[in-house]
């Protein structure tokens, strides 16, 4: 898996400027790990990193990991990914589907998501 590859090292490069559109391919998102792999590659290219859990994703959304907010994620095949990311996870004082929690996290950090 890309996230755990010892070959991966964060490269020192400037974040993409605000206003960018990144395409997230949902066809191969089958679980939480494959989501983090896909978002990493959408933002930073093959083998790219953009978090490996929700806390790390939120850290990355604050900048310094390849993208500057506000930006847009165009999530292709999002219905397929949504069907696979229905795992219930705690959020504040409730439980929600992981897919919905990811969308909430993006919105809270100033990322627009276009579901396609």
E-strand ranges in the chain read 21-25, 71-76, 88-91, 94-97, 111-115
Identify whether the C-beta of residue 47 lies closer than 8 Å to the C-beta of residue 54. Answer: no
**Count of H-run helices and E-run strands, the chain:** 4, 5
**What total number of domains does the chain contain?**
1
CA distances from 76 to 73, 93, 98, 115 (A): 9, 31, 17, 7
Q: Tell me, what CATH number does 91's domain have?
A: 3.30.370
| Residue 115, domain member (yes or no) | no
73-103: pLDDT as tens digits: 999 999 999 999 999 999 888 999 999 999 9
Domain coverage including residue 82: 18-109
45-77: pLDDT as tens digits: 999 999 999 999 999 999 999 999 999 999 999
| Residue 6, domain member (yes or no) | no
**Over 60: is that where the pLDDT of 9 sits?**
no
| Residue 85, domain member (yes or no) | yes
| Residue 58, domain member (yes or no) | yes
Largest CA distance in the chain: 39
């Amino acid at each position: 898996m890309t996230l755990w590859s010892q070959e991966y090292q964060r490269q020192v490069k400037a974040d993409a400027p605000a206003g960018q559109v990144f395409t997230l391919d949902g066809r191969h998102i089958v679980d939480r790990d494959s989501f983090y792999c896909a978002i990493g590659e959408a933002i930073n290219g093959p083998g790219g990193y953009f978090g490996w859990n929700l806390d790390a994703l939120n850290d990355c959304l604050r900048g310094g990991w390849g993208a500057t907010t506000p930006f847009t994620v165009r999530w292709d095949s999002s219905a397929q990914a949504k069907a696979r990311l229905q795992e219930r996870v705690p959020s504040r004082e409730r439980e929600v589907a992981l897919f919905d929690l990811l969308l909430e996290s993006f919105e809270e950090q100033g990322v627009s998501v276009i579901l396609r």
